[in-house]
Amino acid sequence: MSHHPDSTRLNKAISDNGYCSRRQADQLITQGVVTINDQVAQLGDRVMPGDVIKINGALLSAPSEDVYIMLNKPVGITCTTDLSIEGNVVDFIKHPQRIFHVGRLDKPSEGLLLMTNNGDIVNKILRAGNLHEKEYIVYVDRPISENFLKRMRTGIPILDTVTKPCRVERISRMSFKIILVQGLNRQIRRMCEYLEYDVVRLNRVRLMHLHLGDLPLGQWRDLTQKEVNDLKATIADSDNSPFADHDAD
């Protein structure tokens, strides 16, 4: 079936706008709350530039400039867009655009969190597989042994699976650096607990090619144009179908 070259799938138009993910858009369409030019939309509908899309009667505004923010998340801030949760990251940043986090950092973890209003890019990053490297500095409650490093590198049984081999280096007597590409729920804490170590502090210092650098705790900045270009280049081949992912803190 041929489509007008300028037409876009409705769910993509809603997701590109930054309103929600494609999957969530499909749910809204199924619920009958999305209209195109005041006609109730159906799944699979396509829209043309100039079509008026409304959700629950409210106009889907024209997509604004893409926002890409790096936050140095403090301990105690929760990665959620649910504004009823105290200490949620959206209220913490107070950005004029509607932005959401890419992956997540647990409430007791700190460090680099990427936020954006570009719904499409979120799934692409989470699906970027081996390119989606996350680097953490971890402080534990007792001296690190060679056996601990070796076990952490080769794989630990948690959550009914075994963690993938990963890069682990000792930094000091009680701290180490770990680079992961997978993101099991509370992965690093669970790995350490399995070896009878407690995580005292967990700090994400890098996501893919984005480095936290000297960004002060609790502060955020827009990504540079080069960082955005590199990000888009890295994930250019990544699939953007929906994907459930936790980050590994």
- H/E stretch holding 104 reads none
Determine the Cα–Cα distance for residues 90 and 95; give it in Å rounded to an integer. 7
From 45, 106, 245, 247, active-site residue = 106
By C-alpha distance, which of 231, 162, 156, 225 is closest to 191?
A: 156
230 as an active site residue: the answer is no
Take residue 143 and report the two structure tokens written for it. Answer: 């001296």
Q: Could you tell me how many helices (H) and strands (E) the chain has, helices first?
A: 7, 17
Determine the Cα–Cα distance for residues 114 and 207; give it in Å rounded to an integer. 8
**Rounded to the nearest 10 degrees, what angle do helices 225-234 and 119-126 cross at?**
60
**221-237: b (≥16 Cβ within 10 Å) or e:** eebeeebbeebeebbee
Which residues are marked as active site?
106
